[in-house]
Amino acid sequence: MDVISVIRTKRDRGELSPEQIDWVIDAYTRGVVADEQMSALAMAILLNGMNRAEIARWTAAMIASGERMDFSSLSRPTADKHSTGGVGDKITLPLAPLVAACGAAVPQLSGRGLGHTGGTLDKLESIPGWRALLSNEEMLHVLDTTGAVICAAGDGLAPADKKLYALRDVTGTVEAIPLIASSIMSKKIAEGTGSLVLDVKVGSGAFMKTIEDARELARTMVGLGTDSGVKTVALLTDMSTPLGLTAGNALEVRESVEVLAGGGPADVVDLTIALAREMLDAAGIKDADPAKALADGSAMDVWRRMIAAQGGDPDATLPVAREQHVITSPSSGVLTRLDAYGVGVGAWRLGAGRARKEDPVQAGAGIELHAKPGDTVTAGQPLMTLHTDTPEKFDYALKALEGSYDIAPAGTEFTPNPIVLDRIA
């Protein structure tokens, strides 16, 4: 077996054999296949796709590259959630402690930012002292004592995906549906959760731009999970507009704490509760009310314990960027469009994301929104505040934001998209 023949097979729109898939995943994990060779294969997969059998075998090979976890010793049923990535998508932060407060155990293995989308681990690392890397024993202890844990997948869990995940981010292959599905489901199946809710984003700020592509991805992942004995359901949710009023690491943590305190933007609250209900139902917990747990402070209590258990200080002051730049409204009227992709790229260019897999991110960088579609604005009113430690990035970010919003005359009617567009089970 050699990597050139594998690349050529997919380049020429052929079907990879099970033996080819098993070999190339194992060889890449061991370093026999170089990054540039796997980049070529990933691009061929992006352009030419994979059938269901190939995707299933690719996922199984990723799982087989490492260990599998077991949560059967826990007294609670386990439920996990995964988002395919969006702009301002901080939902995991309030969701994990909320579902734990309602009686489930939430083993949330999360990732770093990919392209213009933020990463949960990057956000939480803006909390002083917080650790993303836990041993399996530490992860189980935090989960057992607090009910929820948000951490990085350990080196032993789907190590092939860990390498490929970082490579996809910097080679323009993030959007490949077979690679998205196998990446997500290899970790979730190996993780050992009993049930899984997928938040598949749709719109300009998502990797799936159309409802048809989102449904294809959702059905692929639900099928992979179900075939592996994991009760899996997917919600298709809108990502044409950023979620909430912030895009950036510390900015999103701050907003998440507001949600846990009983406030926060309505779209973030609504989606958090919708996903919590799906997770609890999948875990077989029928009598809990996540809206009540959010309002009475019990979810906040779990958040504080969870952050402290991973070395973080829940009372610490979050980082603030050294420089700000305000974008004001050029006219008065109704804000009818705020493009999630433009905001995501703008935040990424300010330092909230990375251009290379080894790049650091700025904890305080990002964009703060002062209006959302449907809001009335006046000329000169702040629309966005850009945050960065490196002011030379402002011009680059401003270019990404050109044409990213529309203002219609006062009195224009506006109907927002529903936050949940479909459900796949």
- Residues annotated catalytic, as ranges: 82, 161, 168, 183, 187
Residues 6+ apart with CB under 8 A from 233: 196, 197, 198, 222, 278, 282, 423, 424, 425
SS3 at position 339: coil
Single-letter amino acid, residue 97 = P
Question: Which residues, including other chains, have CB under 8 Å from residue 54's CB and lie 6 or more apart?
Answer: 15, 16, 21, 178
**φ/ψ of residue 244, rounded to 5:** 70, -155
Q: Residue 360, exposed/middle/buried by CB under 10 A (0-12, 13-18, 19+)?
A: exposed
**Cα dihedral 379/384/387/392 (nearest 10):** -60
Question: Do 317 and 373 form a contact (C-beta atoms < 8 A)?
Answer: no
Measured between alpha carbons, how far is 294 from 143 in angstroms, rounded to an integer? 20
Q: How far apart are CA 308 and CA 110, in angstroms?
A: 18
Give me the helices (H) in 65-113, please. Answer: 92-101
Supply 229's token pair.
């004995």
User: Cα separation of 105 and 143, whole Å?
Assistant: 7
**Helix, strand, coil in percent for the chain, rounding step 5:** 45, 15, 40
Burial 54-63 (b: 16+ CB within 10 A, else e): bbbbbbbbbb
- Which one, of 262, 176, 184, 192, lies nearest residue 223 by Cα? 184
Distance of CA 221 to the CA centre of its chain: 15
